[in-house]
Chain A
Amino acid sequence: MTITHEGHNRARRRREARTGLAFVAPFALLFLVTFVIPIAVSIRSSFYRAKPSGGGLYGGGELVDTFVGAENYAQVLGNRLFWDGMGRVLLFGAVQIPVMIGAALALALLLDSLLVRRVTIFRLGYFLPYAIPGVVAALVWTYIYSPRMSPINQALEAVGGGIDFFAPGTILGSMANMTTWTFTGYNMLIFLAALQAIPGDLYEAARIDGASEWAVVRRIKVPLVGRAAMLAVLLSIIGTIQLFNEPTVLAAVNPWMGKAYTPMMMAYNSMTGGVSPSGAGPASAISIVMAIGAGLLAAGYAFLQRKTV
C-alpha cells in the first residue's frame, strides 16, 4: 500500500517535472539561442584574431583564426579612440541622464496628480516618441538640425540668430536632446506605474494630518518611487554606454565624427573593416570591455544608491 502510494507520488512528481520543463522550455531555448550562445561565441572570438594564412602582399587569400590570448583586449585598452569614445558617452550620460530622469519624474507626478484629466491621452502622447524606431527618429532630428534646412534655424535667422547643431562642441548636446525626447516618456511610464502602486490610504492619512499637496509629493511620492528611479537610471546608464543610432546617423553627414565616435560605433566599424584592427576578434573585445564598463558603472550606482537610501 505504502509502496504503491510512493510509486504513485513519484510518478506524479515526474509528470509535474515534465510539465514544468515543458513550460520552461520555450523560454530556456530562446534564452540559450539568443543570449547564452551569442555571448559565449563573442567571448571566445575575443581571444582570436583572423590572420593571413600565407605570406606575400595579400596574405595568401585565406584567413585562419589564431588564438592571440589577451592581445585584442590589450589593443582596445591601449587605444585612444576607444577611451575618447568612452569619455564622450560618460560626459553624455552625466548630463543627459539626470535631465531625462528629472523630466520623467516631473511628468509622472503631473499625470499622477489630480490636476490632469484624460491621463491616457497624455500617457500615450509622452510615450509615443519611444515607439518610433531609433534610426527613423535620428533621421528626422538630423533634418531638424541640418544647417541649411533646419526649420529652427530658419526661424532663428529671421531674428538674426542661428545654432550650429553639428559643431563639434554642440553635437553631444544635440544628441542628448534626441535621446531625451525618445526616452523621457518611457521612463515616465516606469515612474507612473510606481506612483500608482502607492496605496491611497497614505495620502488620506497625510491629508488628515494637514499635509499640503507639495508635502505629499516630497514626503510620500518621491521617496516611494526610489526603486523605480534606480531601475530607470540603471537602464539609462546601459543605454548610454551603447549609444549608436544617433551618432551613426549624424556621422553620415558629419565626417569629422569618424567611425569611432562612441565605443559601440567603434565595435561595429571594426567588424565591417572601417576601423583597424578589424575583424570579429577586435570587435568582440571592444563589446566585452564595453559590457564590463557598463556593468561596473551600474553596480557602482546601485551600491551608492543603496548606501544613501
Chain B
Amino acid sequence: MSSRTARTTGSLAAAVSLSLVAACSSGTPAGPSSAPASSAAPATPVSIEYLHRLPDGEGMTKVADIVAKWNAEHPDVQVTATKFDGKAAEMVTKLEADIKAGTAPCLAQAGYAEVPSLFTRGLLEDVTTDAEKYRSNFSEGAFTLMTVGGTAVGLPQDGGPLVYYYNKAEFDQLGLQVPTTAEEFTAAAAKAAEKGKYIAAFQPDEAQYSLSAQAAAAGATWYSADNDQWKVDASGAATQKVAAFWQTLLDSKSAIVENRWGDGFKKALTDQKLIGTIGAAWEAPLLAGDMAGSPNEGQWAVAQLPQLGDAPMSGPDGGSGVVVLKGCPAPAQAMEFNNWFNTQIDGLVSQGLVVAAKGAMTTPEPVKAFYGGQDVFAELAKANEALNPNFPYIPTFPAIGADMAQAADRAGKGEGKVADIFTAAQQASVASLKDAGLPVAG
C-alpha cells in the first residue's frame, strides 16, 4: 500500500525527505479555519483536513480531484486534502506535535502496523459508533485492522496481501510451473538456479514487513492477548516454516540476496536474472515501473502466494487506513467523508491501491499491459480475501524493524541463520513492550 510505497519508492528519495521535515512540520496547510460547527449555527460548513501519503503520480486520478467531487456535493462539509512528503514515522511525529498544539487535521493516513502505536500514543479518537455504520462497505479483515482491542479508530483504505510475481515467458522457457507450495517452490528455484536464473529474492531491508507477512501466511499469529497481557510468539512453529523455507533457498544458493530498495534488485529484474519475486499487492505497479522499457514488458504475471503453512493463505505486508485524530471537532462528518473517500474504488485503484472497500476493481491499462493482459487486480483481490484474519500488531511494532533487518542482512551474507531474524523479532517485541510500559508475558 501506499504509506509503504511512498516511504520506500526510491530509498534515496526517502532520505531527501529528511531535509524537508523542518519545512513540513512548520505548520498546517492553509485552508478554511477548522472551527467546530456549533449546533447553534448549522449554516456554517464544517471543515475537515485530511493528511495523506498517496502517490498522486502521473496518470492517476488526483486526490484533490476526488475530494473536489465530494466538496461539490457536500457544501456543508468541506474537505481539504494535503499530501505529506516524508516518511510515515515523520508524519506521526508531526501529528503528535500538532495534536498537542491543537492544530492537527481530523483525518490522516496510517499503516495498519502503525495503528496500535498511534492509539497507545494517544493520537486517535474512538469512532466505534460511526465506524459500525460503514462496516459492511469494507472487507472484514481490513476493517478489523482499523480497530484496537475492539475500538474502531478509522476506516481501511487498501490492503497489501503478499502475492507471487513471476516472468511467465522465462518460466515457460525453463519448463517451470508456477509453484503452489513451499516444496514446489524450492524445487523450481533449484532448477532455475542451474540455468543462472532466480525465482526469488531475499530482501533484508524488507525483513520486518515481508517476513512477518510470510509468517502470517504460514498461519502464525505473532501477538495475542493472554490474561490482559501481550503474548509474543514471533518465532513459533508456523514462523519456523518460513525460516526453513528461506534457509533452504539461501543454502542451496537458489535465491539471490538483494535489498528491495537497492539498485541491485532493479538491475537483476531488468537483466532478467531475477524472474520471480514474492511481493505485496501494492508492488504490482511498482514492478511494472521498475522494468518499463525492458524486454520484461508483457511477460510478467501475478499468482497467489505459494502455500507456506498448513493451508493456502496470504499475509499482510503493508496496507493502510484513514484514522480520526484526537481532538477532531467533527468526528461524525469526518467519518462520513472517510467512508465516501475510501469507497471511491476507481480513483483509489488509479493510485495503485488494492482497495479495502467491497466492489469490483478494474485493472488500469498500463498495469494490464505489463502483465500480459492479465486482470491483475482480480488476482490481487483474491489474495486480499485469503489474508490471515488473525495477525494484529503490537503498539511498539515500529521499533522492531531495525533488529530484524540487521539479522536478515547477516542471514543473507551467510553469517547467521534466517531463524535468527525471528529470534530478534521475538526479543525486540518483548523488550520494546516493556520499555513502553505495556503488559507483556515472559
Instruction: Mark each residue of chain B from 401 to 431: 1 if its CB lies under 8 Å from any CB of chain A, else 0.
Output: 1110110111000000000000000001001
Whether B12 pairs with A59 at a CB distance below 8 angstroms is no
| Residues of A contacting B395 in the complex (Cβ-Cβ under 8 angstroms) | 58-59
Mostly, the B contact residues are helix
Whether A142 pairs with B12 at a CB distance below 8 angstroms is yes
Q: Looking across the interface, which residue of chain B has its beta carbon closest to that of A277?
A: B435
**Cα–Cα, bound, A149→B267 (Å):** 10
- Measured as residues with beta carbon below 8 angstroms from the partner, the interface class of chain A is 35 or more
- Scoring A51, A245, A273, A277 by chain B CB atoms within 10 A of each residue's CB, the highest score goes to A273
B316 within 8 A of A: no
Whether B399 pairs with A52 at a CB distance below 8 angstroms is no
**Cα–Cα, bound, A249→B124 (Å):** 31
| Residues of A contacting B19 in the complex (Cβ-Cβ under 8 angstroms) | 133, 135-136
B378 within 8 A of A: no
B149 within 8 A of A: yes
Within 135-179 of A, Cβ neighbours of B (below 8 Å) are at 135-136, 138-139, 142-143, 146-149
Whether A148 pairs with B263 at a CB distance below 8 angstroms is yes
**Cα–Cα, bound, A193→B42 (Å):** 68
B225 within 8 A of A: yes
| Residues of A contacting B403 in the complex (Cβ-Cβ under 8 angstroms) | 258
B164 within 8 A of A: no
Whether A255 pairs with B204 at a CB distance below 8 angstroms is yes
Contact of A56 among B228, B402, B405 (CB under 8 A): B228
A275 within 8 A of B: yes
**Cα–Cα, bound, A258→B410 (Å):** 12
- Scoring B14, B116, B149, B436 by chain A CB atoms within 10 A of each residue's CB, the highest score goes to B436
Whether A249 pairs with B149 at a CB distance below 8 angstroms is no
Within 247-279 of A, Cβ neighbours of B (below 8 Å) are at 248-249, 252-253, 255-256, 258-260, 269, 271-278
Given A57-B228, A275-B399, is A139 in contact with B12 using a C-beta cutoff of 8 Å? Answer: yes
Q: Looking across the interface, which residue of chain A has its beta carbon closest to that of B403?
A: A258
Whether B120 pairs with A259 at a CB distance below 8 angstroms is no
Whether A252 pairs with B228 at a CB distance below 8 angstroms is no
| Residues of A contacting B174 in the complex (Cβ-Cβ under 8 angstroms) | none
**Cα–Cα, bound, A239→B19 (Å):** 17
Whether A58 pairs with B119 at a CB distance below 8 angstroms is yes
A50 within 8 A of B: yes
Within 204-263 of A, Cβ neighbours of B (below 8 Å) are at 245, 248-249, 252-253, 255-256, 258-260
B57 within 8 A of A: no
Contact of A61 among B122, B432, B439 (CB under 8 A): B122
Contact of A135 among B18, B116, B124, B409 (CB under 8 A): B18
Chain B nearest Cβ from A41, distance in angstroms: 12
Contact of A63 among B14, B120, B230, B439 (CB under 8 A): B120
Given A249-B12, A258-B405, A274-B89, is A58 in contact with B121 using a C-beta cutoff of 8 Å? Answer: no
**Cα–Cα, bound, A51→B436 (Å):** 7
Chain A nearest Cβ from B290, distance in angstroms: 14
Contact of A253 among B122, B148, B262 (CB under 8 A): B262
Q: Looking across the interface, which residue of chain B has its beta carbon closest to that of A256?
A: B409
A-B contacts, 13 listed (Cβ < 8 Å): A50-B121, A51-B437, A52-B436, A56-B228, A59-B120, A61-B122, A135-B18, A136-B19, A139-B15, A273-B399, A274-B399, A277-B432, A277-B435
**Which 3 pairs from chain A and chain B are nearest by CB?**
A276-B432, A256-B409, A255-B405
